């Protein structure tokens, strides 16, 4: 158990660091992250640029901090979209007629057939690339994960004695859902959200790498990584900084998810249902 | 580097044409040439069994340039599989290609081309005047791409003999002869064929195989009528990702990087193993401003943009210091080039005051970029520089070509964009038509362009100079820089063109020392 | 049992039918015309319209849809708008490439994940288990393309041991094929392996808490033996689910690795086709991907029934 709480602490602190960087960037960054200074092109770390400057002479640290915002935004919106649609779907599938549940689960299988990259390619062709498109694509492809987790959790709750009793007492399904089922699956949702967040960060990086993510003036870790690729031999620092940031953030959210799982419901060893890279 | 095939002698032709009377090659029998005394290129080494592998950037969508636009198709085919009657040498001069000589009538409306007697297509059939007439006629009747309009000046084509063709124009046109050096001038066998899958021409190479998504393989045409090239097989390998292209050279998979898309990576190629070739292209990287839309309807705002941009700083950052400042829509290889970079020098104070006068301080403009390396690299630089003088810039990226073509090019739904216009001598196309996406409408320009096209070569130069200066003075657009021809290759490779100003990549000139 | 199979099959067919509509719908709203892209910047509207007519794009959408689906049913994928070549052989080539990549890297992932995951679970209270677990967490956190970029920088550019990129069909030059396969498979396989190992670990941990394993251990069997003798079959169920999902999403997800290593697979083919607005090719590739995912799901469902007899009656 001691190691478990260690997981939670490490994960929590990594996530807190990302959030802190993003929040601070709203009020302060060392430099304007978009300011191009030709003389500072590829400058190494110094008092002026703590992490150096990129090929356009923009301050790396400032971009890293503002990039944390993009990362969090993509995570929050895509996970939010997925949870808002996936959770009700999962509940309905578990609590209403069996045939409807079957159909909804088949629909969610169907959505799984459109992974984030495929959706992003198609949506980008229609609406142009951008952070919003990336968020929606990742969000939609994450819906099935939430629907499945919530459904299986809800099915378990539905078979518990108090729900059976409540139903026998003639309570309305909506009431049962809100009063008994939802609170009992909240821990599952939180854990799934944390894990999906990590996946969203990886997906955003991959999309930016393909040029399907943030536009060139919006600092994003995936974009920074992509832009520094050609400089891997001369200025590896420019790739290492965003690369490490991505890895730490993903690690943080994954550990947080693991830790929360054990903390919130040590008996229910719920499995993560989805992986996408 | 003069690495052309035998007809180096005749590069004076471009000048003799200035006189406006008959001109042509000195009836040179290039046919039986077995060695080219005056060329230092690879072709001089004679045929070998060596293969060569060249890394290129954009893969063609099809092999048929009569029905598909895009620079990648002629890049692979023109001058290699297909030949043109006339072609351009490294200095931009028009020299004989498949035709051994040509003459122009005094009224400048009739061109007579002489063909070599021994030229054949790779099928073995002779190249005759009838094939030339057929090819020109096909452009007018069967081609579908927009470039077919280049053949509009032609009113009649006659194959006067198996080795002679007479082309009559409806009005004199200097640009027509030049255009004959591009893909519209390609000569096809009149028997036709499957252009999209089995291209057949009279060039030094034949098409062998296309591995979609990967490479195109060409093999030496051992029946070629001219001097046979050095390399037996040429693999054109295509790379979407600039870094992957560089890595392929570094790890020895390819011998040549045709275009360095990430010039900042240049320093990773040690000079002990690699050579770097730096020259010019026809690719003017234009920061276009929608002349029909506020705030760019106001000349002062357009000028402010030109003053606000530190072109040296921009080239240094987003294109690693490679590339040349131009100031107008003319590359230095064109005869009417002059340095116009001083018309609006970098001056932030001036830019600010012009914006102030126009009352447009703090105006928001939308910079819509195609998702191409130079555009996405330079967009943020432009944004930063314009914001320093008081404009607000919003960037979005559009997928190139499809989305950019529809949104920016066709519907002109943009304030600013960045695109390299790579067609040669494209000033009239880009600014001469008020419906073109730049929406530039200046009544003073049209007469200059007409006079340039219909007059003598001297008139052409004077008038084009005036047109280029007009664009700079009127701030029709800003010209960020001229895309450099940046090649990296194994040290032993010879014959690489210094200036990439032709549509085709001349493979026959290559050799290995 | 038969009934379940039939109902699953019906669902599969229905999903495929819906997919065709969704995919076709996407094409209808896609801005940009294949004709304009093909004809280039200077083309007149009239010639664009003419070419669209030649492509049959001026017909009512319903007719175009039926035409396309009818073709699919006859295994006729149509001709590419851009290259005017038959699509089927093009897709077959690219699919083959992607399958080599995906299947070998999945095998590698399994080879890494199963022993590692079991070890992590069995030793989850010991330092070695914790260390392995931490390592796998780091592996999960690294984007596959970053792994690829770094592997190339090290093994190709610095050391010059392996080609940086490229693809050679195995029949053409088996040695070159293998050399070029190593790095992409490593970058996909290592990261997938780390992800999979986490699932194996948690599945095995679950099983180890089951009564029958406790009983077996109480009878004196060592944990590993107890597990191998009684538990692996049960632990396999969630792992197979995840594996199926991974395999399916990798078909298109490998596009990033295909880009890094310049491999002419299905994902890169899709990106190119979208860029050229080669609509019919886009439709065909997306349909193929969707079909693959649906069939993998279907097979995974069937596997459940095979692995776990209990599921044959209820689920």
pLDDT tens, position by position, A122-160: 888 777 778 888 889 999 999 998 998 888 888 888 777
pLDDT at B33: 30
* CB spacing of A117 vs C255 below 8 angstroms: yes
Range of weakest confidence among A257-271, B150-164, B438-452:
A257-271
Sheet holding B364-370, edge to edge: B205-211, B215-220, B233-238, B51-56, B256-257, B477-490, B274-289, B416-421, B364-370, B392-398
Q: Tokens 């921009």 sit at which residue?
A: B314
A38 and chain B in contact, CB less than 8 A: yes
Average pLDDT over residues B304-322: 95
- Position C268 pLDDT exceeds 80: yes
A49 assigned to some structural domain: no
* CB spacing of B385 vs A36 below 8 angstroms: yes
A17 assigned to some structural domain: no
Tell me how many degrees the CA angle B297-B300-B303 measures, rounded to the nearest 5: 105
Residues of B in contact with C94 (CB under 8 A): 212-213
Residues in chain A: 277
- Cα separation of B198 and A253, whole Å? 55
* CB spacing of A234 vs B402 below 8 angstroms: no
- Cα separation of B190 and B121, whole Å? 10
- Position B31 pLDDT exceeds 60: no
A1 assigned to some structural domain: no
Collapsing DSSP to helix, strand or coil, B84 comes out as strand
Collapsing DSSP to helix, strand or coil, B482 comes out as strand
**Does residue B456 contact residue B20 with C-beta atoms inside 8 Å?**
yes
Both tokens assigned to B9: 């002698």
- Position C182 pLDDT exceeds 80: yes
A98 assigned to some structural domain: yes
- Position B44 pLDDT exceeds 80: no
- Residue B464 burial (CB count, 10 A): 25
pLDDT at C229: 66
DSSP letters for B35-55: --TT--SGGGG---S-EEEEE
- Position A83 pLDDT exceeds 90: yes
Both tokens assigned to C171: 């029949």
B250 and chain C in contact, CB less than 8 A: yes
Q: How far is A32 from chain B (nearest CA, A)?
A: 10
* CB spacing of C50 vs B144 below 8 angstroms: yes
Instruction: Identify which of A3, A70, A8, A6 has the alpha carbon closest to the alpha carbon of residue A258.
Output: A8
Residue B99 binned pLDDT confidence (cut-offs 50, 70, 90)? very high
Instruction: Identify which of C48, C274, B381, C258 has the alpha carbon closest to the alpha carbon of residue A127.
Output: C274
Please tell me which residue of chain B has the smallest CA distance to C168: B214
Over residues A4-58, the pLDDT tens digits come to 578 889 999 999 999 999 999 999 999 999 999 999 998 889 988 999 999 999 9
Both tokens assigned to B373: 């390396």
Both tokens assigned to A196: 């999906």
Q: What are phi and psi of B210, to 5 degrees?
A: -125, 110
Q: How far is B402 from chain A (nearest CA, A)?
A: 9
pLDDT at C308: 63
- Position A274 pLDDT exceeds 80: no
Of B212, B252, B405, the CB nearest to C37: B405
**Does residue A95 contact residue A177 with C-beta atoms inside 8 Å?**
yes
Of A128, A216, A230, the CB nearest to B379: A216
Q: What are phi and psi of B471, to 5 degrees?
A: -60, -40
- Position B122 pLDDT exceeds 50: yes
Domain coverage including residue A217:
68-263
pLDDT at B26: 33
pLDDT at C311: 52
A2 and chain C in contact, CB less than 8 A: no
Q: How far is C37 from chain B (nearest CA, A)?
A: 6
Query: In Å, how far are A105, A107, C95 from A102, measured between CA atoms?
Result: 5, 9, 32
Residue partners of C182: CB distance under 8 A and separation at least 6 = C162
C145 and chain A in contact, CB less than 8 A: yes
A199 and chain C in contact, CB less than 8 A: no
Q: At what angle do helices A131-158 and A60-95 cross, to 10 degrees?
A: 40
A3 and chain C in contact, CB less than 8 A: yes
* CB spacing of A277 vs C144 below 8 angstroms: yes
Residue partners of A238: CB distance under 8 A and separation at least 6 = A52, A54, A55, A60, A224, A227, A228, A231
User: For chain B, what is the mean pLDDT?
Assistant: 87
Q: What is the DSSP letter of B271?
A: T
**Does residue B291 contact residue B478 with C-beta atoms inside 8 Å?**
no
- Cα separation of C190 and C192, whole Å? 6
For the domain made up of C88-311, give the CATH fold.
MetI-like fold (1.10.3720)
- Position C164 pLDDT exceeds 60: yes
Over residues B383-407, the pLDDT tens digits come to 999 999 999 999 988 888 888 888 8
A51 assigned to some structural domain: no
Q: How far is B42 from chain C (nearest CA, A)?
A: 27
Backbone conformation region of residue C198, classed left if phi is above 0, alpha if psi is from -120 to 50, else beta: alpha
Q: How far is CA C138 from the centre of its chain?
A: 22
Average pLDDT over residues C213-235: 72
Tell me how many degrees the CA angle B468-B281-B336 measures, rounded to the nearest 5: 30
Residue A214 binned pLDDT confidence (cut-offs 50, 70, 90)? confident
DSSP letters for B326-352: -SSS--TTSTT----TTSS---HHHHH
Collapsing DSSP to helix, strand or coil, C304 comes out as helix
Q: Are strands B256-257 and B51-56 parallel, antiparallel or unpaired?
A: parallel
- Position C304 pLDDT exceeds 80: no
- Cα separation of A38 and B315, whole Å? 9
Instruction: Identify which of B57, C99, C268 has the alpha carbon closest to the alpha carbon of residue A210.
Output: C268
Q: How far is B317 from chain A (nearest CA, A)?
A: 5
pLDDT over 70 for what percent of chain B? 91
Please tell me which residue of chain C has the smallest CA distance to B436: C42
* CB spacing of C15 vs A106 below 8 angstroms: yes
- The strand pairing partners of B103, in sequence order, are B112
- The strand pairing partners of B209, in sequence order, are B217
Report the CATH number that the domain containing residue A97 is assigned in CATH.
1.10.3720.10
* CB spacing of C165 vs B244 below 8 angstroms: yes
Range of weakest confidence among A83-92, A247-256, C29-38:
C29-38
- The strand pairing partners of B101, in sequence order, are B114
Question: How many domains is chain A built from?
Answer: 1
pLDDT at C241: 76
Over residues B408-439, the pLDDT tens digits come to 988 999 999 999 998 888 999 899 999 999 99
Q: Tokens 């006068």 sit at which residue?
A: B357
Collapsing DSSP to helix, strand or coil, B298 comes out as coil
Q: How far is CA B322 from the centre of its chain?
A: 18
A231 and chain B in contact, CB less than 8 A: yes
Instruction: Identify which of B129, B130, B149, B131 has the alpha carbon closest to the alpha carbon of residue B139.
Output: B149
Is the entire prediction scored with pTM above 0.90? Answer: no
Question: What DSSP element (H or E) covers B96?
Answer: strand B94-96
pLDDT at B22: 33
**Half-sphere exposure of residue C74: CA atoms within 13 angstroms, side-chain side:** 7
- Cα separation of B359 and B304, whole Å? 12
Q: How far is C19 from chain A (nearest CA, A)?
A: 8
- Residue B338 burial (CB count, 10 A): 12
A108 assigned to some structural domain: yes
Question: What DSSP element (H or E) covers B366?
Answer: strand B364-370
* CB spacing of B243 vs A229 below 8 angstroms: yes
* Own/partner long-range contacts of B150-153 (Cβ < 8 Å, ≥24 apart): B150/B175, B150/B176, B150/B179, B150/B182, B150/B184, B151/B176, B151/B179, B151/B184
Q: How far is CA B191 from the centre of its chain?
A: 29
With contact defined as 3+ CB pairs under 8 Å, the chains touching C are A, B
- Cα separation of A91 and A189, whole Å? 12
Residue C309 binned pLDDT confidence (cut-offs 50, 70, 90)? low
* Helical segments of C74-173, H only: 87-122, 127-141, 144-151
**Does residue B342 contact residue B328 with C-beta atoms inside 8 Å?**
no
Q: Tokens 């990259």 sit at which residue?
A: A117
**Half-sphere exposure of residue B265: CA atoms within 13 angstroms, side-chain side:** 26
Residue partners of C204: CB distance under 8 A and separation at least 6 = C117, C118, C121, C122, C227, C231, C235
pLDDT at B24: 35
Residues of C in contact with A110 (CB under 8 A): 15, 18-19, 294
User: For chain A, what is the mean pLDDT?
Assistant: 85
A75 assigned to some structural domain: yes
Please tell me which residue of chain A has the smallest CA distance to C8: A106
A230 and chain B in contact, CB less than 8 A: yes
Residue C230 binned pLDDT confidence (cut-offs 50, 70, 90)? low
Query: In Å, how far are B30, B94, B148, B158, C312 from B129, measured between CA atoms?
Result: 18, 21, 21, 8, 79
The ipTM assigned to this model is 0.84
Backbone conformation region of residue A57, classed left if phi is above 0, alpha if psi is from -120 to 50, else beta: left
* CB spacing of B197 vs C85 below 8 angstroms: yes
Average pLDDT over residues C215-230: 71
* CB spacing of A215 vs B395 below 8 angstroms: yes
Residues in chain B: 513
Chain B residue set in contact with A, beta carbons under 8 Å: 242-243, 246, 262, 264-265, 267-268, 310, 312-314, 316-318, 320, 369, 371, 376-377, 379-381, 383-385, 387, 393, 395-399, 402-403
- Please state whether the peptide bond connecting residue C82 to the residue before it is cis, i.e. omega within 30 degrees of 0: no
Q: What is the DSSP letter of B88?
A: E
**Does residue B302 contact residue B439 with C-beta atoms inside 8 Å?**
no
pLDDT over 90 for what percent of chain C? 18
**Half-sphere exposure of residue B469: CA atoms within 13 angstroms, side-chain side:** 10
Mutate to test the interface with C, among B211, B251, B253, B426 (most CBs of C within 10 A): B251
Of A35, A58, A128, the CB nearest to B399: A128
Q: Are strands B477-490 and B274-289 parallel, antiparallel or unpaired?
A: antiparallel
* CB spacing of C164 vs B197 below 8 angstroms: no
Q: What is the DSSP letter of B229?
A: P
Task: Give the CA-trace dihedral at B90, B146, B197, C32, to 10 degrees.
Answer: 120
* Domain regions of chain C by residue span: 2-86, 88-311
A92 assigned to some structural domain: yes
First-last CA distance in chain C: 12
Please tell me which residue of chain C has the smallest CA distance to A233: C153
Residues of A in contact with C256 (CB under 8 A): 117, 206, 209-210
């Amino acid at each position: 158990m001691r190691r478990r709480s260690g997981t939670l602490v490490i994960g929590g602190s990594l996530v807190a660091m990302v959030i802190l960087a993003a929040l601070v960037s709203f009020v302060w960054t060392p430099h304007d992250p978009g300011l191009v200074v030709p003389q500072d092109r590829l400058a190494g770390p110094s008092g002026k640029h703590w992490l150096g400057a990129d090929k356009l002479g923009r301050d790396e640290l400032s971009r890293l901090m503002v990039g944390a915002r993009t990362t969090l935004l993509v995570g929050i919106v895509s996970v939010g979209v997925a949870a808002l649609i996936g959770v009700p779907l999962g509940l309905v599938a578990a609590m209403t007629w069996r045939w409807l549940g079957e159909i909804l689960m088949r629909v969610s299988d169907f959505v799984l057939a459109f992974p984030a990259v495929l959706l992003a390619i198609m949506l980008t062709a229609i609406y142009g690339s951008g952070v919003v498109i990336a968020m929606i694509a990742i969000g939609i492809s994450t819906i099935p994960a939430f629907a499945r987790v919530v459904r299986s959790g809800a099915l378990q709750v539905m078979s518990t004695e108090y729900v059976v009793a409540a139903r026998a007492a003639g309570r309305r399904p909506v009431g049962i859902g809100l009063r008994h089922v939802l609170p009992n699956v909240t821990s599952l949702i939180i854990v799934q959200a944390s894990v999906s967040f990590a996946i969203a960060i990886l997906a955003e990086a991959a999309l930016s790498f393909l040029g399907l993510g943030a536009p060139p003036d919006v600092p994003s870790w995936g974009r920074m990584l992509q832009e520094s690729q050609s400089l891997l031999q001369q200025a590896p620092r420019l790739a290492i900084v965003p690369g490490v940031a991505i890895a730490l953030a993903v690690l943080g959210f994954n550990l947080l998810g693991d830790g929360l799982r054990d903390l919130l419901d040590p008996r229910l060893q719920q499995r993560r249902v989805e992986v996408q890279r | 580097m003069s690495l052309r095939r035998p007809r180096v002698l005749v590069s004076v032709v471009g000048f003799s044409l200035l006189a406006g009377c008959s001109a042509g090659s000195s009836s040179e029998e290039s046919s039986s040439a077995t060695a080219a005394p005056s060329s230092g290129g690879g072709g001089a080494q004679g045929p070998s069994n060596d293969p060569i592998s060249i890394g290129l950037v954009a893969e063609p969508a099809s092999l048929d340039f009569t029905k598909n636009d895009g620079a990648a198709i002629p890049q692979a085919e023109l001058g290699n599989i297909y030949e043109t009657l006339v072609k351009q040498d490294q200095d931009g001069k028009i020299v004989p290609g498949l035709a051994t000589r040509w003459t122009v009538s005094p009224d400048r409306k009739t061109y007579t081309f002489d063909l070599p007697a021994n030229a054949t297509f790779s099928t073995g059939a002779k190249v005759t005047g009838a094939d030339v007439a057929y090819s020109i006629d096909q452009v007018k009747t069967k081609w579908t791409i927009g470039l077919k309009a280049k053949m509009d000046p032609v009113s009649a084509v006659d194959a006067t003999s198996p080795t002679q063709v007479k082309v009559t124009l409806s009005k004199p046109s200097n640009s027509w002869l030049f255009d004959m050096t591009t893909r519209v001038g390609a000569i096809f066998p009149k028997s036709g064929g499957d252009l999209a899958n089995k291209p057949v021409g009279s060039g030094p190479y034949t098409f062998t195989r296309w591995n979609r998504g990967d490479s195109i393989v060409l093999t030496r045409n051992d029946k070629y009528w001219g001097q046979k090239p050095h390399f037996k097989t040429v693999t054109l390998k295509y790379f979407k990702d600039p870094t992957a292209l560089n890595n392929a050279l570094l790890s020895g998979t390819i011998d040549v990087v045709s275009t360095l898309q990430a010039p900042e990576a240049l320093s990773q190629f040690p000079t002990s193993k690699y050579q770097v070739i730096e020259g010019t292209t026809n690719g003017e990287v234009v920061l276009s401003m929608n002349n029909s839309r506020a705030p760019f309807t106001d000349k002062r705002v357009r000028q402010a943009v030109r003053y606000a941009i530190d072109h040296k700083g921009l080239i240094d950052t987003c294109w690693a210091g490679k590339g040349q400042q131009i100031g107008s829509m003319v590359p230095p290889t064109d005869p009417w080039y002059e340095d116009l970079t001083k018309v609006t020098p970098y001056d932030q104070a001036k830019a600010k005051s012009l914006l102030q006068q126009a009352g447009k301080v703090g105006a928001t403009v939308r910079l819509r970029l195609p998702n191409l390396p130079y555009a996405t690299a330079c967009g943020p630089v432009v944004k930063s520089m314009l914001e320093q003088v008081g404009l607000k810039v919003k960037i979005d990226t559009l997928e190139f070509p499809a989305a950019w073509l529809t949104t920016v090019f066709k519907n002109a739904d943009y304030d600013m964009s960045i695109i390299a216009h790579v067609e040669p001598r494209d000033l009239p196309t880009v600014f001469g038509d008020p419906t073109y996406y730049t929406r530039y409408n200046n009544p003073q320009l049209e007469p200059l362009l007409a006079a340039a096209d219909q007059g003598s070569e001297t008139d052409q130069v004077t008038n084009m100079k005036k047109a280029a200066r007009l664009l700079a003075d009127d701030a029709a657009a800003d010209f960020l820089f001229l895309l450099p021809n940046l090649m990296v290759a194994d040290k032993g490779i010879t014959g690489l063109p210094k200036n990439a100003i032709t549509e085709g990549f001349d493979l026959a000139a290559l050799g290995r020392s | 049992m038969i009934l379940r199979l039939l109902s699953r099959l019906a669902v599969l067919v229905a999903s495929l039918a819906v997919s065709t509509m969704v995919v076709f719908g996407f094409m209808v709203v896609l801005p940009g015309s294949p004709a304009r892209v093909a004809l280039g910047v200077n083309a007149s509207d009239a010639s664009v319209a003419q070419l669209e007519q030649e492509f049959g794009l001026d017909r009512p959408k319903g007719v175009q849809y039926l035409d396309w689906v009818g073709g699919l049913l006859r295994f006729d994928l149509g001709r590419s708008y851009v290259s005017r070549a038959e699509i089927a052989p093009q897709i077959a080539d690219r699919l083959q490439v992607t399958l080599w990549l995906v299947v070998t890297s999945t095998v590698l992932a399994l080879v890494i994940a199963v022993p590692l995951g079991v070890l992590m679970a069995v030793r989850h209270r010991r330092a070695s288990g914790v260390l392995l677990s931490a390592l796998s967490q780091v592996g999960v956190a690294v984007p596959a393309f970053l792994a690829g970029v770094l592997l190339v920088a090290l093994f190709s550019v610095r050391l010059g041991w392996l080609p940086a990129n490229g693809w050679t069909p195995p029949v053409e030059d088996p040695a070159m094929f293998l050399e070029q396969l190593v790095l992409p498979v490593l970058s996909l396989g290592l990261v997938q392996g780390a992800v999979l190992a986490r699932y194996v670990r948690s599945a095995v941990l679950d099983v180890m808490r089951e009564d029958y394993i406790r009983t077996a251990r109480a009878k004196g069997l060592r944990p590993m033996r107890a597990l191998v003798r009684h538990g692996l079959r049960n632990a396999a169920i969630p792992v197979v689910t995840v594996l199926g999902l991974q395999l399916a999403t990798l078909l298109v997800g490998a596009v990033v690795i295909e880009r890094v290593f310049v491999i002419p697979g299905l994902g890169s083919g899709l990106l190119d086709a979208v860029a050229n607005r080669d609509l019919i090719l886009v439709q065909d590739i997306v349909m193929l991907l969707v079909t693959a995912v649906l069939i993998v799901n279907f097979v995974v469902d069937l596997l459940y029934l095979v692995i776990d007899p209990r599921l044959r009656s209820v689920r």
